[in-house]
Amino acid sequence: MKSTDSCLGKLAMEPIPENIRLLKGAYWLAKLRWIAIVYVIVGTYVTHEILRVGLNDVALYVIAGFLVVYNITVLVLLNRLMKADQEVPCKAVNKLVCAYQAIVWVLLNRFTKVDPKVSCKAVSRIINLQICMDLFLLTVLLHFSGGIENPLVFYFIFHMIIASILLSMRESYLQATFAVCLFGLLALLEYKQLIPHYCLTGFVPHCLGREKLYVLGTFFVFTTAVYLAVYMANYIAIRLKHTEAAYRQANIMLREKDRVKDEYVLRVTHDIKGHLATIQASLAVVTGKLTGPLGAEEADLIRRAYARSVKLVSFVRALLRLTQLRLSDKSEMDVFSLRDAIQNAVGAAETRAQEKSITLDCAIESSVDDIFGDRFSIEEMITNLLLNAVKYTPQKGTVRISARDEKNWVLLEVADTGIGIPEKELGKIFDEFYRATNARQVERDGTGLGLSIVRLIVERHGGRIRVESKEGRGTKFTLELPKGQRP
Amino acid sequence: MVNGRILIVDDDPDFVAAMKVILEGDRYAVTAAPDTVEGMRRIQADKPDLIIMDVMMSTWSDGFEMSRELKKDPRYEDIPILMLTGVEERTGIGFKSTAGDPQWLPVNGFLDKPVEPQVLLDEVNRLLSGKACNGADT
């Protein structure tokens, strides 16, 4: 059997809140740091052991070790921020990690006064701290690996680009100034011999740390390169942010237009339904012979008109229901018995099943009962699925509904031995107004809205719907419904 | 001899005409009012045995307001009210489940427009046969 998941036709561009964007950026930075750590370790080993360049390898390994501890600390802090609102219980095996997390959290809270809520300020403060620390460690690394002689100095540029992407323009220029100060101080202290200069013997012909012109020239190029990098990266980042904001605005406008359209459809269909109700009621009086007998031809025409009005009313009803569901964000949620809802839905489909001699099986696990949701909608959804199954199952077939418990979920299955859905069309059956080609042959009239309503209700409840089918053999809808909790 | 006197409060004269034929065919005496003001006037002048009422007339909820007013008045609280409306899908509120709630929708029956003649007659008979009470009995 081929299967497909429902795919809600949501607009792809969901606005990402600024704090989440920053948090993701902070995670990205921590990920990049792992690469840097590996790079430091491998680089030190290759340069010192294989290329035989004179490096203070012990100091560099110590820095790499420090970077590992520091990066774990950053990740702990970020994880904590991510789960700020959810208390995650410590499992026995994780006790050590949890204790470490708690200590880090307390210390960082004390020193950085980070708000436990995921605020933009808190995350950007962490990113600022991370970049400051990275710049400082890079300077220390540079000091132990040749100072101004080491081409590693260009790696400061990476931090400037990262700062420009993640932070405000002011913050990124401040970070650039900090980098320039650190590098300048390192060059000055080594030049003045206030700190030792570790010459990269074997890499440069002679020590350059005390070559005045070389030091000044490198410092000048370094400073201009850092500020230019920040300027360019900021220029690009700002343009990207503007484009993103424009897309978000367009997305909001599209949603608003969609809402206005839905309200329009709702108003128009409601008015149409009012007129249709009167037409149907009037025709029902005549077809019911309440106004006296009719000639055979008149009776036949009136009967046809009445049948059409019934179909039109059911279409308008489905359209009204779908539009009303699309327009309302919240339903009337409460705790109710899913068992009762299923039984009511089975009751509603029973007569139609009997008319076609279809066996309607119902198997509900004893543990399935109360869930939190909109009872009316859920019952309507199950009824829709059952009536659909009965409609497209030939005489003497079987329709089976089952429900079972799966921890915090209820798994509901509606399976039939009906005409099935062609493989190519499986992905479209939840689309509004779509009717499978074989369904149209069996039943000329149908709204094509029933499954769209079902999907909308499932998704409103945070659930999922899946369909498996084989043409000519039958169809199975599987619904995963969260039991939910009273808020 | 009539089975009972019914007042229809609905602003759609064509729908009222169809309802009249169905109900009069079952020997009910039917009068109609196009709005709640005329409806109240008729109730005060001649208390009916049953009121069939729409929800949306001059405002979207005047049927609700009239039913609450009637159920608060000791002179009329015993008149069964059957709400016959298409407002449910317009608003998305599950009226069938709330009909009978004295605070929210103090009516004795609720049917969605359009209604099959026999379904309407069954409901009217049920409400007039004395089974009705001010509870959720739809």
Contacting residues of B for A284, CB less than 8 Å apart:
18, 22, 114, 116-117
Q: How many CB atoms lie within 10 A of CB A197?
A: 20
**CB-based contact A422:A438 (threshold 8 Å):** yes
Longest CA pairwise span in chain A (Å): 118
Q: How many CB atoms lie within 10 A of CB A367?
A: 10
Distance from C-alpha of A164 to C-alpha of A175, rounded to nearest angstrom: 9
The contact set of B with A (CB < 8 A) is 12, 14-15, 17-19, 21-22, 25, 86, 89-94, 97, 113-118
pLDDT of the residue at A98: 52
pLDDT per residue as tens digits for the range A286-335: 988 888 888 888 889 999 999 889 889 888 888 888 888 888 766 678 88
Query: Are the Cβ atoms of B94 and A332 closer than 8 angstroms?
Result: yes
**Which residues have a Cβ under 8 Å from the Cβ of A228 and sit 6 or more positions away?**
none
Q: Which residue of B has its CA nearest to A377?
A: B94
pLDDT of the residue at B3: 84
Chain center to CA of B23: 13
pLDDT of the residue at B132: 43
Contacting residues of A for B18, CB less than 8 Å apart:
278, 281-282, 284-285
**Which residues have a Cβ under 8 Å from the Cβ of B4 and sit 6 or more positions away?**
B28, B29, B49, B50, B124, B128
Residue scoring higher pLDDT (A24 or B40): B40
Per-residue pLDDT of chain B (138 residues; tens, 9 = 90+): 788 999 999 988 999 999 999 999 899 999 999 999 999 999 999 999 999 998 877 776 788 889 988 988 999 989 999 998 876 655 555 555 555 565 566 788 888 888 889 999 999 999 998 744 444 343
Q: Helix (H, G, I), strand (E, B), or coil: what is residue B74? A: coil
Q: Which residue of A has its CA nearest to B24?
A: A290
pLDDT of the residue at A101: 52
CA dihedral A164, A168, A169, A175 (to 10 degrees): -60
Q: HSE (CB half, 13 Å, CA atoms) of B87? A: 19
pLDDT per residue as tens digits for the range A106-147: 555 554 544 445 567 777 888 888 899 999 999 999 998 888
Tell the burial category of A344 from Cβ atoms under 10 Å away from its Cβ (0-12, 13-18, 19+): middle
| pLDDT exceeds 70 at position A170 | yes
CA dihedral (A84, A85, A90, A91) positive or negative: negative
Q: Helix (H, G, I), strand (E, B), or coil: what is residue A434? A: coil
| pLDDT exceeds 60 at position A99 | no
Q: Which residue of B has its CA nearest to A287?
A: B117
pLDDT of the residue at B16: 92
| pLDDT exceeds 70 at position A102 | no
CB contact A324 to B (< 8 Å): yes
Q: Which two tokens stand for residue B119?
A: 């379904």
What does pTM read for this prediction? 0.63
Q: What is the CA radius of gyration of chain A?
A: 35
* Most confident option among A36-40, A91-95, A96-100, A222-226: A222-226
pLDDT of the residue at A231: 96
pLDDT of the residue at A166: 86
ipTM: 0.76
Percent of chain A with pLDDT over 70: 87
Residue scoring higher pLDDT (A114 or A393): A393
- Name the minimum distance, in Å, from the CA of A171 to any CA of chain B: 51
pLDDT per residue as tens digits for the range A232-269: 999 998 999 899 889 989 999 999 998 899 888 888 88
Partnered with residue A465 across adjacent β-strands are A479
> Of A445, A440, A421, which is closest to residue A304 (Cα–Cα)?
A445
pLDDT per residue as tens digits for the range A33-75: 899 899 989 999 998 888 888 778 888 999 999 999 989 988 8
Q: Which residue of B has its CA nearest to A306?
A: B116
